[in-house]
Structure 1
Amino acid sequence: MESGRMIQWLNLVVCVLLLLKAEGSLVPLTLVENALSKGAVCLDGSPPAYHFDKGAGEGINNWIVHMEGGGWCKDADDCLGRKDTRLGSSNQMVEDLYFSGILGNDKDYNPDFYNWNRVKIRYCDGSSFTGDVEEVDPTNNLYFRGARIFSAVMDDLLAKGMDKAENAILSGCSAGGLTTILHCDNFKALLPSGANVKCVPDAGFFINVEDISGARFIEDYYSKVVSTHGSTKNLPSSCTSKLSPGLCFFPQYVLSHISTPIFIVNSAYDSWQIRNILAPGAADPNDSWHSCKLDLSKCSHDQLSIVQGFKKEFEKAVSVVGDSSSRGMFIDSCFDHCQTESQETWFKSDSPHLANTTIAKAVGDWFYGRGSFDQIDCNYPCNPTCQNLVSDLKDHPGI
């Protein structure tokens, strides 16, 4: 009996390992030790880090650089809460990270980018890589150096062959998606002038909208993030010359200032934004939105009406993408947050579809010029291909 159970257990392990091999890979951590001399450090002063899976064959001179997400911190106390975690210190990061979705290395699951050089830059500064404060407060020993981290890591990658890039994508999820938008032109400027360079932010189009109490919680929060991290000088000056720096942290106000081709992947019912922008805890002291924020099918009639209003505001904000052939978007109605990193939502037989197209195909066709894609989904719960998966909240902390 015991041997039978052991055989069943071993068979299960083999199946899991085969599944992992088919859909992704474990990639080791690289510390950028020489960044220390440049003051390009995490919140705790440790060196920045990334995971790098080298390309092969026809993809040897093609690069995807993917920015990790994980929210932001708005003041010293908030940042101290991250300082001794993986979102504030490379000392707390895992040695190996699983790559799948847009970073996967199997042609069957990532047909356009599987053999590219694929990089995931770890997030440990709390400002979407925009901060740069020279002074270090001896009381809390915090470093606000996100912009320096971006530069130092890019220098390291350029030295490893990215300076010969023929095709390149800057991408990222959540706060990393916002990083992708804010650094899109900076990334292109680093690469050879003849390279085909584009940006694909995922779940990074955070909108400036009133919460359920009528306040603009997220606008105030972003203003504090920008002030604490000294981000103003690293935001587009064409925006900050006209608007307050905190507003220039919102994609809807900066996208018109970006010249590099860009493709927006987002849900119009982004689960993180519903929880933290539309109905943050401060606006819902009685926690009456608790069930609705976990599952839209549990929303009351009035709550769902407000959620549908959020989608209208999102559509209005994302309209700045425009209809240029150099721009595209895949805006579905799935209650989800981040869809390019997960194999289930990036490219599988049951992945979310818009116009009979997966996210992977839409992005690949757009990048290679095989076709444009500019689609906004119908209202929830209209799309039967939505899995309405909710990403691990530890990876996407609330505010």
Structure 2
Amino acid sequence: MMTAIRLICSLMLLVLMHYGVLGARRFRGGRNPQPRRAPPSPTYRERGDTTESFPLDFTAVEENMDNFMKQVKNLAQSLYPCSAQKLDYDMKLHFLENSSVTCNDGTPAGYYMKESLGSRRWLIFLEGGWYCFNKENCDSRYETMRRLMSSSKWPQTKTGQNLCLPAWFIPYCSSDVWSGASAKTDQSGYAFMGSLIIQEVVKDLLTKGLDKAKVLLLAGSSAGGTGVLLNVDPVADLLERRGHTTVQVRGLADSGWFLDNKQYRSTDCHDTVSCAPTDAIRRGIKYWGGVVPERCRLAHLGEEWNCFFGYRVFPSIKSPVFVVQWLFDEAQLTVDNIHLTGQPVQEGQWRYIQNLGIELRNTLKDVPAMFAPACLSHEIITRNYWIDVQVKGTSLPRALYCWDRSFYDNSRNNKAPPKGCPVHLIDSCPWPHCNPTCPTIRDQFTGQEMNVIQFLMHMGFDVQKMAQQQGMDPSKLLGMLSSGS
């Protein structure tokens, strides 16, 4: 078995070094590709742009709200199987009753609401969208992606799906990873109130039926996923202080488990692309007036920035949290200065990518409920293909169902989840896309979908010749590649 693993590793290393990594910009993953934004102009790249210069799609929610709501419906059905009801298909915009809690530019913050009268299970989703950490890159963000800093052009309604539980979508307009608690000042030029926005939304919802709920699931992707880690306990504490102790608060953090690792190649910290993760968050938490969960704050006095990194904040979290994380997260690679632009990947870069998977796997080993496929991508639960990806034969919807069932079983019989219902799922294969259920590789120019074998052939790699050189039967090598074994 070890011989086979070494063979495949050497095979993939050879391919990646000569032809570029799987999932690079020319070969973008996705069974149903999202529309891509045009790249920013060179002017903005030279000025140190933030989210706009990323080749990644960090704002897929706004670009395709219909698809996002479809995935929320699938998520709801996975967690809480229920019969369909006739509901209003539009999510309506509600501004916060507390008008002093605002977006970056002082416009009112708010949420989109879909009611379901009498439901005992509620879902609140935090949008992602990166961040800015000083006046210069926040000004650039405001010029080019204003909806992530202002509610001035938010539509009054968003088309949704027929959900059988109440769902609230909180647009991200605070640029602070949902952590800020500071009003607008002359020095900053902006308000940063992400944590306060969540608190005020929960307060508003208590008057709309949340007080009678049994479960509140706080979910989010990317910056929203980190926002879940930072806010799930404060939300639980808020409900407890207000006497609503019967509401069980849980978290679902998707693609928000970042590492404070050393960059592949260090660069000066000018913007969110070039800045090392620790440097960016150190600057950001001061600029935002950011707050972190109390138990984590006490564990990292004077260095509260640590609480923005999943493996550091997680041990202090009391509320149940399900972590969903690609082992080779594109956003992590980007801030680590591994830019996958279709150019050949050097041997040092490839080793760095493999080590990232090892490091991430190590930080997740003690997380009781998690789903971590060895794929190169960013965000899972907002994507069309999220129900298809499997880890060790178990899909994410199945794992989420098992997670929810574990609370029911434990409260009734104090038993662990039954066999065949795992909740701790992490890939053990060592390279990006070694899991055969990863998002399909797609030629960005032709739209053609390719499996791993087709990709190798497309790049001119002679699988038969390689097998002969290794003394293997070609069909055996092809079988190993296609199965990911």
TM over 0.5: yes
The answer for the alignment partner of 2:5 in structure 1 is none
Q: 1-side partners of 2:305 and 2:69: how far apart?
A: 43
Matched ranges for 1:104-115 at <5 A = 105=162, 114-115=163-164
* Compared CA separation, residues 204 and 242, structure 1 to 2 (3 A): same
Q: Which amino acid is 1:330 matched to?
A: F
- State the one-letter code of the partner of 2:177: S
Counterparts of 2:168 and 2:179, CA distance in 1: 19
Amino acid of the residue matched to residue 238 of structure 1?
R
1:31 CA drift (Å):
3.1
Match of 1:210 among 252, 262, 274: 262
The one-letter code of the counterpart of 1:67 is L
Matched, 1:246 2:305: yes
Residues 69-102 of structure 1, C-alpha deviation per residue, up to 9 Å, x if partnerless? Answer: 0011111222223335111001133444455xxx
Asked if 2 retains the 8 angstrom alpha-carbon contact of 1:80 and 1:142, the reply is no
Are 2:323 and 1:264 aligned? Answer: yes
- Match of 2:121? 62
Moved more, 121-130 or 185-194: 185-194
Q: Which secondary structure state, in structure 2, belongs to the residue aligned with residue 90 of structure 1? A: coil
List aligned pairs for 1:326-365, cutoff 5 A.
Answer: 327-345=368-386, 347=387, 351-365=388-402
Residue 142 of structure 1: SS of its match in structure 2? Answer: coil
Report the CA distance shift for 1:80/1:21 in structure 2 as closer, same or farther (over 3 A): closer
CA deviations over 1:154-201 (Å, ceiling 9, x no partner)? 111121111111122111000000010111112223443223331110
Cα displacement string for residues 138-164 of structure 1 (whole angstroms, at most 9, x for unaligned residues): 376411222221221111112111111
Contact 1:198–1:367 (CA under 8 A) maintained in structure 2: no
Deviation at 1:274, TM superposition (A): 1.2
Verify: 1:127 aligned to 2:173, yes or no.
no
> Are 1:274 and 2:322 matched, yes or no?
no
Residues 388/172 of structure 1: CA separation in 2 closer, same or farther (3 Å cut):
farther
The residue type equivalent to 1:387 in the other structure is P
Normalising by the residue count of structure 2, what TM-score does the alignment of the two structures yield? 0.63
**2:90 matched to 1:32?**
no
C-alpha separation between the residues in 1 aligned to 2:394 and 2:121? Answer: 24
What residue ranges of structure 2 are gaps of 5+ in the alignment?
A: 1-65, 74-87, 268-274, 407-416, 443-485
User: When the two structures are superposed, what TM-score results if normalisation uses the length of structure 1?
Assistant: 0.76
CA RMSD of aligned residues (A): 2.7
Amino acid across the alignment from 2:186: P
Cα separation, partners in 2 of 1:22 and 1:367, compared to 1, 3 Å: closer
1:183 paired with 2:231, answer: yes
Contact 1:336–1:388, Cα closer than 8 Å, also in 2 = no
Matched, 1:291 2:354: no
Q: Give the letter aligned to residue 173 of structure 1.
A: S
Shifted more, 353-362 versus 219-228: the winner is 353-362
CA contact (8 A) 1:43 1:79 kept: no
Question: Any gaps of 5 or more consecutive residues in structure 1?
Answer: 1-17, 106-113, 281-286, 293-297, 322-326, 391-399
Once the two structures are overlaid, the 10-residue window that deviates more, 197-206 or 144-153, is 144-153
**Is the CA contact (8 Å cut-off) linking 2:126 and 2:219 kept in structure 1?**
yes
Distance in 1, matches of 2:440 and 2:329, equals 10
Given that 2:96 and 2:204 are in contact with CA atoms closer than 8 Å, whether structure 1 keeps it comes out as no
Using the alignment, how far apart are the partners of 2:334 and 2:95 within structure 1? 35
Q: Relative CO higher for 1 or 2, CA cutoff 8 Å, sep ≥ 6?
A: 2
Shift of 1:116: 1.3
Aligned length: 332
Work out the percentage of aligned pairs sharing the same amino acid. 24
The structure that has the greater radius of gyration is 2
- SS where residue 86 of structure 1 aligns? helix
* Alignment deviations for residues 98-139 of structure 1 (CA, whole Å, 9 cap, x no partner): 55xxxx54xxxxxxxx411111111100112211224x3337
Q: Does the CA-based 8 Å contact 1:334-1:388 persist in structure 2?
A: no
Supply the distance in 2 between the matched residues of 1:237 and 1:187 (Cα, whole angstroms): 12
TM-fit CA distance, 1:242: 3.8
Post-superposition shift, 1:205?
A: 0.4
Alignment of 1:152-167 (within 5 A): 152-167=200-215
Determine if contact 1:31/1:47 at 8 Å carries over to the other structure.
no
Distance 1:118 1:245, change over 3 A: same
Contact 1:42 1:124 (8 Å CA) reproduced? yes
One-letter code aligned to 1:374? H
Is 1:49 the equivalent of 2:76? no
Quickly say closer, same or farther: Cα 1:225–1:264, change in 2 above 3 A. Answer: same
- Which deviations, in whole Å up to 9, do the C-alpha atoms of 1:323-342 show, x marking residues without a partner? xxxx3000011211111122
Does 2:441 match 1:376? no
User: Partner of 2:191 in structure 1?
Assistant: 143
Change (3 A) 1:97 1:260: same
Deviation at residue 389 of structure 1 after TM alignment: 7.4
Matched-pair contact (CA < 8 Å) for 1:130–1:235? yes
Q: 1:21 to 1:241 in 2, by over 3 A?
A: closer
Partner of 2:78: none
